[in-house]
A and B are shown apart, each in its own frame.
Chain A
C-alpha cells in the first residue's frame, strides 16, 4: 500500500511538474519582450483640430494616437525596449486647420510626441521652408532639383539616427521605378516656393556613398532594372553602414487597402517598412515589434494596424491643452461666405470655380480637373472650411504662356477640363494651379520662362476673396460665360 501510494504520488508530481513547466515555457514565449517597437503614422492630411472645433471637423483620432504612443513608450521603458516613432508623409497639410495655422497644428502634434523622424510625401510639396522649420524632428525629403541637389535646401534624403546603442539608417520615401507617366498626379513637380521643377529621388547612391552595399541593397529593394550584385547581402549592408536598422519607405503603387499584408517582415534580416497607410487622417497607426537575433530580426507579433479610438488608449489631455490656443485662429479664419441656394455637384462646382478664374486679367484659358474637386456643396450657409474641403487641394495660381500649337497639345492630355475663349490670340495665357501648370510644363517640355506666378496666395484664397466681393451665389453660375467654350472630361 505504502509503495503504491508513493508511486502514485511520484506520478502525480511528475505530471504536475511537466504541466507547470509547459505553462511556464508558453508564458515565457508569450511575454518575450521585443528589442524595438516601430510605430508609424502617415497620411493624416492635417487632421489635427482642437476638440472645441468639432463642428468644423467632428472626427478626431489624434488624442488617442498620442495617448497610445505614450502608453507604448511607458510599457517599453519598463521592458528595456526601444520605441521608434515615424511619420510616413502626407500628414502636414490638407486640412482647413493646417491651412489656417500654416501647419502649426501639425507641428504642435509632432513636436509634442517627439517623433524620431518625418518623411515628406508628394502631398507635402506645398509646404514652405518656414512651415517645415517649425518641426523639431528630422524631416527627410524625397525631392531634388535638376542639379541633383536635395530640396528644400538643407534637407537630406538619408539620415542616421542614434538611439541608445542602436544606429538606424533612414531613407526618405522613394519612387523606385514607377514611371511618372503612369501616376502623374503622384509625382510632385514643384516644392514650396522653389520656382524650378523638382524631381523625385529614385537613386540614393549620391547620398549613400561610400556605403556601396547599402546602395545595392536599396537598388534591389526598389526593383531597379539592374540585377543586384550577389555580394550585396543584407549582412553586408548592416556591416558596411554600421547600422542596426534600416528604414526605408516605398511609395505605394496602387489604391488597394490591402497594403498591410507583408507578413514576411520577420524573414527579412533588415526590417524595411513600406509606406503602407492610405489616407487615414490619424485613425491608423502601424506597429511592428522586433527582436534581434544573431541571424537577423524577427517579429514578436504580426505587424498590425492599430485603430485609434477610446477603446485603444485614453485621450492625451496634455496635447489637447497644447492645441487649444489654436482654436480661435482657426475659428476666425472660418468666415461665412454667404448662402448657396442649390446643391452643387462636383461638376457644377468645377464649372462655377473655373468661371471665377476667367475674371483674372489677361487670361485666355483655364485648366483644371474634375478629380481635383473633393466634394459637393449643399444648399445653405457656406463657410470657408466647407469650401476648403470641396475645392482643389490648394496651390498657388500660375499663368503659362504658350503658342496655339502647344495649346492644342494641352487638349490631348487626359483628365483635364479646359475652359477657353472662342477667339484665341496667337500667344495664349493659360491659368492653372501650380499643380497643373507644372504637369503641363513637363508634358509639353515648356521652359521655366513660360511660367509666371500670380500675386494671389493660392486657389482657395483667390476664391474666398472673389466670393466675399461678389457673393457666394456666384459659384452657382455654372453656365459657360459668353465668348468661352468648355472642353474635356466633365464626367
Chain B
C-alpha cells in the first residue's frame, strides 16, 4: 500500500525531464519578455516627451527647446529638461533636488530601464541622462531654433536613448541595444522625431545619414 502511493523512478525521471524542459523553454522567453517590456517602457517614455514637445511648440510660437548644458541649472530656461516636464505635470529637472535623481529603481519618464546597467559605470553626483536632445537643434548663440528651420521634422532626430551625464547628444552618444561594447550591425535605438513620433532605428541609419533618410542637422543646406 505504502509503495503504491509513491512514484516510480521512471516516472520521477520523466517528470524531472519535463520540468527541466519547461524551464529551458520558459526562461529565455521570460527574459526576452522582460527585455521587450523594458524597450516598450522606453518607447512609451519617448512618446510622452513627444507630447510635451508638441505642446511646448504650440505655446512658444514654434520654437524648439534647447539641448541645455551639463550643469543642470534653473538658468537654463529653454533647456528641454527644464521646459518639457512641465507639460507632463512633472517638475523641471532644476527643481529636483541635486544628485543622480530620480532613483533608478522607480518608473520615470527620465529613466530608460534597458540602460540601467550602463548607468552604473557613470560618475556619481551627476544627473544621469537616459534621453538626450539632438545637439544640432540649436540656433546661433545657443538661441532656440524655430521648427520652420527644420526642413523635415518627420525625419529629424529630437531625442534619443543615451546614457551619459550630458543632456545633448550626437550620433556617438546614442545608447544601443545589442551595442556593447561596440554597436553590432543589428543594434537599434528608439528615436523621438521632431513631429512627435517614435521609431526603433538601426545603428547604420543613425550613424550614416542618407540625404532622404534620418537627419541630425535641421536642414541640409
Interface, chain A (partner B; CB < 8 A): 1, 4, 54-55, 58-59, 61, 257-258, 279-281, 283, 307, 309-311, 374-376, 378, 389
Asked if A59 contacts B57 (CB within 8 A), the reply is yes
Asked if A257 contacts B50 (CB within 8 A), the reply is no
Residue among A59, A280, A376 making CB contact with B195, cutoff 8 Å: A59
Interface, chain B (partner A; CB < 8 A): 4-5, 47, 50-51, 54-55, 57-58, 61-62, 87, 89, 146-148, 150, 152-154, 194-198
Asked if A283 contacts B47 (CB within 8 A), the reply is no
Residues of chain A within 8 A (CB-CB) of B195 are: 59, 309-310
Chain B min CB distance to A343 (Å):
10
Chain B min CB distance to A178 (Å):
23
Asked if A309 contacts B150 (CB within 8 A), the reply is no
Task: Tell whether A58 pairs with B153 under 8 Å between CB atoms, given A311-B47, A311-B197.
Answer: yes
Asked if B196 contacts A4 (CB within 8 A), the reply is no
Asked if A375 contacts B55 (CB within 8 A), the reply is no
Residue among A280, A311, A389 making CB contact with B58, cutoff 8 Å: A280
Asked if A283 contacts B196 (CB within 8 A), the reply is yes
Asked if B58 contacts A279 (CB within 8 A), the reply is yes
Residue among B61, B147, B150 making CB contact with A374, cutoff 8 Å: B61
Residues of chain A within 8 A (CB-CB) of B4 are: 1, 4
Chain A interface main SS type = loop
In the complex, residue of chain A having the shortest beta-carbon distance to the beta carbon of B150 = A58
Residues of chain B within 8 A (CB-CB) of A58 are: 62, 147-148, 150, 153
Asked if B5 contacts A307 (CB within 8 A), the reply is no
A-B contact pairs, 22 of them (CB 8 A): A1-B5, A55-B148, A58-B62, A58-B147, A58-B148, A58-B150, A59-B54, A59-B57, A59-B62, A59-B147, A59-B195, A258-B89, A279-B58, A280-B54, A283-B58, A309-B196, A309-B197, A309-B198, A310-B195, A310-B197, A311-B197, A374-B61
Asked if A307 contacts B87 (CB within 8 A), the reply is no
Residues of chain A within 8 A (CB-CB) of B153 are: 54, 58-59
Asked if A307 contacts B61 (CB within 8 A), the reply is no
Residues of chain B within 8 A (CB-CB) of A307 are: 47, 50-51, 54, 196
Residues of chain B within 8 A (CB-CB) of A376 are: 61
Instruction: Beyond A257-B89, A280-B58, list 4 extra A-B contacts (CB 8 Å).
Output: A4-B4, A58-B62, A283-B54, A307-B196
Residues of chain A within 8 A (CB-CB) of B147 are: 58-59
Chain A min CB distance to B5 (Å):
6
Residues of chain B within 8 A (CB-CB) of A257 are: 55, 87, 89
